A and B are shown apart, each in its own frame.
Chain A
Amino acid sequence: MSSASDEARSAELRQKAERIRADLQRLIRELEKVIVGHHEVIEGILICLLCSGHVLLEGVPGLGKTLLVKSLGRVLNLRFSRIQFTPDLMPADIIGTNVVMEDESGRKHFEFQRGPIFAQIILADEINRATPKTQSALLEAMQEQSVTVAGIAHHLEAPFIVLATQNPIEMEGTYPLPEAQLDRFFLKLNVTYPSIQQLEDIVDRTTQHDPTTLQNILDAARVGEMKEFVRTIPVAAHVKNYAARLVLATHPDSSYATDLAKRYVLYGSSPRGAQSLVLGGKMKALLEGRYNVSFEDLRTIAIPSLRHRLILNFEGAAAGIEQGSIVSEILEKTPEVVRGS
Chain B
Amino acid sequence: MQCQRWGGRMEHEEILQRLVRTLRRRASWVRRRTSLLQALFIGLCLCLALAIWHRFVPLPINQLVELGIAAMAFCAIVALAIGLRSRADPMDLLIRADRTLKLRERLSTAYELATSPHPHPLRLIVLQEAARVARSVNPFRVIPSTTPRTLRWTPFLLLAIVLVLVVDFGMLLPQSFIGGDERPSSTLYEQGQQLERQGKRLETEARRRGLERSMEAGRRMQSLGQRLQNEKVNEREAMARVNSLSEYVRNLEDELKKMAVLDDVSLSNVREVMVNQASVSSEVQRLLGMMGRGKLSPSEMRNLQERLQSLGQQGVLDERLSEALNQLRDGDLEGAREMLENYLLQDQMAQDFEHLQRAERALDRSFEHGIDPSDEMDVDAPGRDSGEDSEYEMAGDPRGGSGGLPGDFEGGDYLDSEGMGSNSSIGSGRGTERETSRNRITEAKSPASRITGQTGEGGVRRSYVRALPLKADAAIPLEEVITTYQKRAEESLLREEIPPNNRDLVRAYFLAIGLVEEAAGSEGKDEQRER
Taking Cβ atoms with an 8 Å cutoff, the residues of A that contact B are: 1-3, 6-7, 9-10, 13-14, 17, 232-239, 285, 290-297, 336-337
B120 interface residue per 8 A CB criterion: yes
Shortest distance between the CB of A9 and any CB in chain B (Å): 7
- What A residues does B99 contact at CB under 8 A? 295, 336-337
Q: Which residue of B lies closest to A292 (CB)?
A: B109
- What B residues does A9 contact at CB under 8 A? 124
Of B9, B112, B128, the residue contacting A236 (CB under 8 A) is B112
- What B residues does A337 contact at CB under 8 A? 92, 95, 99
- What A residues does B123 contact at CB under 8 A? 234
Q: Quick check: which of B27-35, B62-70, B100-108, B460-468 contacts chain A, the rest being far away? A: B100-108
B113 interface residue per 8 A CB criterion: yes
- What A residues does B109 contact at CB under 8 A? 234-236, 239, 292-293
B122 touches A13 (CB 8 A): yes
A292 touches B105 (CB 8 A): yes
Q: Which residue of A lies closest to B89 (CB)?
A: A339
A291 touches B112 (CB 8 A): no
- What A residues does B124 contact at CB under 8 A? 6-7, 9-10
- What B residues does A234 contact at CB under 8 A? 109, 112-113, 120, 122-123, 126
Q: Which residue of A lies closest to B106 (CB)?
A: A292
B121 touches A291 (CB 8 A): no
Q: How large is the interface on B (under 10, 10 to 19, 20 to 34, 35 or more residues)?
A: 20 to 34
Q: Which residue of A lies closest to B102 (CB)?
A: A296
A294 touches B121 (CB 8 A): no
Shortest distance between the CB of A63 and any CB in chain B (Å): 33
Q: Which residue of B lies closest to A233 (CB)?
A: B122
Of B6, B112, B126, the residue contacting A3 (CB under 8 A) is B6
B8 touches A3 (CB 8 A): yes
Shortest distance between the CB of A114 and any CB in chain B (Å): 38
- What B residues does A293 contact at CB under 8 A? 105, 109
- What B residues does A2 contact at CB under 8 A? 1, 4-5
Q: Residue-by-residue, is B155-180 near A (CB-CB < 8 Å gives 1, otherwise 0)?
A: 00000000000000000000000000
B125 interface residue per 8 A CB criterion: yes
B306 interface residue per 8 A CB criterion: no
Of B6, B105, B121, the residue contacting A295 (CB under 8 A) is B105
B128 touches A292 (CB 8 A): no
A238 touches B95 (CB 8 A): yes
Of B4, B6, B121, the residue contacting A232 (CB under 8 A) is B121
B125 touches A294 (CB 8 A): no
Shortest distance between the CB of A64 and any CB in chain B (Å): 32
Complex formed: what's the CA distance from A14 to B6 in Å?
19
Shortest distance between the CB of A155 and any CB in chain B (Å): 29
Shortest distance between the CB of B178 and any CB in chain A (Å): 47
- What A residues does B388 contact at CB under 8 A? none
A239 touches B105 (CB 8 A): yes
- What B residues does A297 contact at CB under 8 A? 104
Q: Which 4 A-B pairs have the closest CB atoms?
A: A294-B104, A292-B109, A236-B109, A3-B7
B125 touches A7 (CB 8 A): no
B134 interface residue per 8 A CB criterion: no
A294 touches B7 (CB 8 A): no
Shortest distance between the CB of B229 and any CB in chain A (Å): 65
Complex formed: what's the CA distance from A2 to B8 in Å?
10
> With A239-B109, A296-B104, A336-B99 given, is the CB distance from A291 to B122 under 8 Å?
yes
A14 touches B104 (CB 8 A): no
A291 touches B125 (CB 8 A): yes
Complex formed: what's the CA distance from A9 to B120 in Å?
12
B497 interface residue per 8 A CB criterion: no
In addition to A9-B124, A296-B104, A297-B104, 10 A-B residue pairs with Cβ atoms within 8 Å of each other are A3-B4, A6-B8, A14-B125, A236-B109, A236-B112, A238-B108, A239-B105, A239-B109, A291-B122, A291-B129
A6 touches B9 (CB 8 A): yes
A10 touches B125 (CB 8 A): yes
- What A residues does B6 contact at CB under 8 A? 3, 6
Of A7, A235, A238, A285, the residue contacting B91 (CB under 8 A) is A238
Complex formed: what's the CA distance from A14 to B124 in Å?
10
Shortest distance between the CB of A340 and any CB in chain B (Å): 10
Complex formed: what's the CA distance from A10 to B9 in Å?
11
Complex formed: what's the CA distance from A1 to B5 in Å?
7
- What A residues does B105 contact at CB under 8 A? 236, 238-239, 292-295
B5 touches A6 (CB 8 A): yes
- What A residues does B128 contact at CB under 8 A? 10
Of B7, B98, B126, the residue contacting A291 (CB under 8 A) is B126
B110 interface residue per 8 A CB criterion: yes
Complex formed: what's the CA distance from A17 to B129 in Å?
14
Complex formed: what's the CA distance from A9 to B128 in Å?
13
Complex formed: what's the CA distance from A295 to B102 in Å?
10
Complex formed: what's the CA distance from A124 to B105 in Å?
38
Q: Which residue of A lies closest to B9 (CB)?
A: A6
Q: Residue-by-residue, is B75-109 near A (CB-CB < 8 Å gives 1, otherwise 0)?
A: 00000000000000001100100110000111011
Q: Would you mind naming 5 contact pairs between A and B with Cβ atoms under 8 Å apart? A: A3-B8, A233-B122, A236-B112, A239-B109, A297-B104
> With A291-B129, A292-B105, A296-B104 given, is the CB distance from A13 to B8 under 8 Å?
no
Shortest distance between the CB of B344 and any CB in chain A (Å): 98
Of A1, A237, A238, A292, the residue contacting B126 (CB under 8 A) is A292
Shortest distance between the CB of B281 and any CB in chain A (Å): 92
Shortest distance between the CB of B171 and any CB in chain A (Å): 52
Shortest distance between the CB of B92 and any CB in chain A (Å): 8
Shortest distance between the CB of A163 and any CB in chain B (Å): 30
Complex formed: what's the CA distance from A295 to B96 in Å?
13
Shortest distance between the CB of A228 and any CB in chain B (Å): 10
Of B8, B98, B113, B129, the residue contacting A7 (CB under 8 A) is B8
Shortest distance between the CB of B114 and any CB in chain A (Å): 11
Complex formed: what's the CA distance from A285 to B9 in Å?
22
- What B residues does A239 contact at CB under 8 A? 105, 109
- What B residues does A232 contact at CB under 8 A? 120-122
- What A residues does B121 contact at CB under 8 A? 13, 232
Shortest distance between the CB of B414 and any CB in chain A (Å): 66
Complex formed: what's the CA distance from A336 to B98 in Å?
12
- What B residues does A10 contact at CB under 8 A? 124-125, 128
Complex formed: what's the CA distance from A235 to B126 in Å?
11
Q: Which of A1, A9, A239, A291 has the most CB of B within 10 A?
A: A291
Q: Which of A232, A290, A291, A292 has the most CB of B within 10 A?
A: A292
Complex formed: what's the CA distance from A106 to B378 in Å?
155
Q: Which residue of A lies closest to B1 (CB)?
A: A2
Q: Which residue of A lies closest to B108 (CB)?
A: A236
Q: Which residue of A lies closest to B104 (CB)?
A: A294
Q: Which residue of A lies closest to B124 (CB)?
A: A10
Complex formed: what's the CA distance from A297 to B109 in Å?
14
